[in-house]
Structure 1
Amino acid sequence: MVNSQNNSASRIGSLTQLQWLAVALVLVTGVLHVYAGVVEGRVPVALAGVGYAGALALFFRDYRRRLLYLIGVPYTAVQFPIWIVAKTEYGVVDYVDKAAQAVLIVVLVYLYLNAPSE
């Protein structure tokens, strides 16, 4: 078990700059979703943020990262039309979140296309 923990720690230290960018973008959009979900009283929005936290947990456990990249693209992309339909007023937080998500989608596609097959 100790060997497995050391392997995970060394994998975290060996993340590329693009992977760290993806982590930062996931943190931004995840925190903003939880915040907006709590403030607006919209449980599904908060749960979307929790979904991002779950993805990060799997990512740092080195669990099928290529698959996480692939699933992350539609998971993030589907939030754009839902946001447009569900929101009536848009604020700075909304635009920051959507900008982070747009960049995240591009980064995830790149990471997926350039990740070694599992």
Structure 2
Amino acid sequence: MRPVAQRLEADSLTWIHWFAITLALVSAAVHLVLGVGFLPHWMGVAFLVATAGFLVGIALVLLDVRRRLVYLAGIPFTGGQVILWYVVNEPTTIADLSLTEIVDKLAQGLLIVTLVVLYVRDS
């Protein structure tokens, strides 16, 4: 089996892929920091599971493992993050949001749109 560095398929990635990867990394980083901060509470574990989901998605895209399926799975995964955040936090105005929440939700919204573009483009 070849080492991971030799299995990377970076040459086939476009700027849209790198944009999606950057957005997923932003959200993964936010969830990692929150997860560590909430441990040992169950919310900490939930944030770390979300972190793992984003990182696994990035790895699968970099390794060119069923990219189209990764895009398709990433849409509800990321959308679920937004919905769960809204249900837990119930913000009523923009003033209820922290800078971290704004950055994360903006990254997630753009990631969903980017994943849809990648999925449709690769059809």
Which residue pairs with 2:115 in the alignment? 108
Taking the aligned partners of 2:70 and 2:27, their CA distance within structure 1 comes to: 16
Q: Map 1:22-101 to 2 at 5 A.
A: 22-41=20-39, 42-87=44-89, 90-101=97-108
Residues 31-86 of structure 1: CA deviation (Å, up to 9, x unaligned): 11111111233210121011111111111111000000000000000111210121
Shift of 1:5: 6.7
Taking the aligned partners of 1:91 and 1:46, their CA distance within structure 2 comes to: 20
Taking the aligned partners of 1:39 and 1:5, their CA distance within structure 2 comes to: 32
Gaps of 5+ in 2: 91-95
Identity over aligned pairs, percent? 37
The number of residue pairs the alignment matches comes to: 113
Q: Which segments of structure 1 move beyond 2 Å, counting only runs of 4 or more?
A: 87-90
Taking the aligned partners of 1:94 and 1:40, their CA distance within structure 2 comes to: 16
RMSD over aligned Cα atoms: 2.0
Taking the aligned partners of 2:98 and 2:35, their CA distance within structure 1 comes to: 14
TM-score, length of structure 2 as denominator length: 0.82
Taking the aligned partners of 1:36 and 1:110, their CA distance within structure 2 comes to: 29
